[in-house]
Copies of this chain bind each other. A is one copy, B any other.
Amino acid sequence: MGAYQTMSDSELKERKQKLDLQYTEMKKKKLKLDMSRGRPAANQLDLTMDMLKYELIADRIANENGVDTRNYGGVDGLPAVKKIFSELLDIDPANIIAGGNSSLNIMYDIIARALIFGVPGGSKPWGQQGKIKFLCPSPGYDRHFAITEEFGIEMVNIEMKDDGPDMDMVERLVSEDSSIKGIWCVPKYSNPTGITYSDEVVKRFAALKPKADDFRIFWDNAYCVHDLDENGDKLLNLLAECEKNGTEDMAYLFASTSKISFAGSGVAIVAASKNNIEKMKKQLFMQTIGPDKINHLRHAAFFKDASGVKEHMKKHAAIVKPKFDIVEKTLYNELGGLEIGSWSNPKGGYFISFSALSGCAKRIVALCKEAGVVLTPAGASYPYGIDPQDSNIRIAPTCPTVENLKQAAELFCLCVKIAGVEKILSQRG
């Protein structure tokens, strides 16, 4: 099939009639599917059910190297669980704090504290410096942007390229503007574009020379072990690169087991420099009686070590990859050659990112919704929910079944076609 742009007006109008008929038929199926959030499917959650057996932790629960995991204390988390993350991320356990079930919560709290107290090395709390800004490589993770918006931090769009954020722009802005206090990053299998930052990009991050003395990189390595097959992307270790440059206080790294064990009952960590960790431990001691160490122990006992995690992730991939495959295949079969959209084929993570013709994303999402398939709202992956091109759509294929996904992907392609024809016709006036 040829590109829509090469078709005549009458051909396009005829095509539109056919598509509308198909859409009417599709609506009769009364689909009710949700591809809006990166939620694990139930059978992924089933993979770690043995973690919930008491026998797994019975020997250790009351005396894990002298610690009664049931009691108060240990504000930086159980050493055994820090060790696993240490191996996975190649970071010294002393540079890791293991917390509760939500890395988002750790990020939010770090920003709240930066606003109230400032960060190590900073001369003033962020909250006492008037207008401050965060750089937001976009499309990016909507819940990152929601946090900065909530705190009234101005968000600055940065173009996301195939190897990471536009580093020329990042370097320039960070070195010129002392009101820029941070940047959001999902460096591996970026949410939603699925790309992984290149070694050069990571090195350029580590070499940043911010004008602000209290600038921080928020490095949300949410998909650090979430490869779809054995040929997963490799991400350079930001903290190690920063150490080479003496910039290690600039980086906060995050990870969690939310998409390894249980989405609501996992373990989240932050890794950072000695200065940052020491400060955080003191602050955490004021905030909490410590994380849930029994849950830490469950994770440590179930996974044992980094290779245990990696083996486990192959089971996730076996469930998730066929879902990515069916969506990508449907997109290819239905939209290939039409030149009305392009999409990512990521090697891991939780999303397929779709780029529609400019001005079509909202229309596509609305059409899908009307026919029973909920997608992430168009624009959600941009600061303030505004996609300047109205082009990007985030597809989250993990939660529905393969069969449902096939139907949803077919509907999606149909809606892309309808919106595409409409757009081209309207452009021609």
Contact = CB atoms under 8 A, between A and B. Distances in A.
A102 B291 CA distance: 8
Contact of A265 (B54, B102, B286, B294): B294
Given A62-B42, A101-B292, A292-B101, A150 B283 contact: yes
Interface string A180-222: 0000000000000000000000000000000000000000000
Interface in A105-128: 105, 108-109, 112-113, 115-116, 127
Interface stretch (A64-72, A233-241, A304-312): A64-72
Interface stretch (A10-18, A132-140, A256-264): A256-264
Contacts of A290: 102, 264
A70 B45 CA distance: 7
Given A287-B104, A289-B258, A294-B52, A264 B71 contact: yes
Contact of A263 (B71, B143, B151): B71
A143 B69 CA distance: 21
Q: Copy number of this protein in the oligomer?
A: 2
Interface in A224-272: 258, 262-265
A70 B265 contact: yes
A290 B264 CA distance: 7
Nearest to A49: B54
Q: By CB atoms of chain B within 10 A, which of A53, A104, A262, A287 has the most? A: A287
Contact of A286 (B57, B100, B150, B295): B150
A270 B281 CA distance: 25
A101 B54 contact: no
A366 B151 CA distance: 46
B263 A72 contact: yes
A83 interface: no
A39 interface: yes
A429 to B, nearest CB: 44
Contacts of A287: 104-105, 108-109, 147
A147 B289 CA distance: 12
Contacts of A151: 116
16 contacts: A39-B71, A42-B71, A53-B54, A71-B264, A102-B290, A104-B288, A108-B286, A109-B109, A112-B113, A146-B286, A147-B286, A150-B286, A263-B289, A264-B289, A265-B292, A295-B295
Interface of A: 37, 39-40, 42, 45, 49, 52-54, 57, 61-62, 68-74, 100-102, 104-105, 108-109, 112-113, 115-116, 127, 143, 146-147, 150-151, 258, 262-265, 283, 286-295
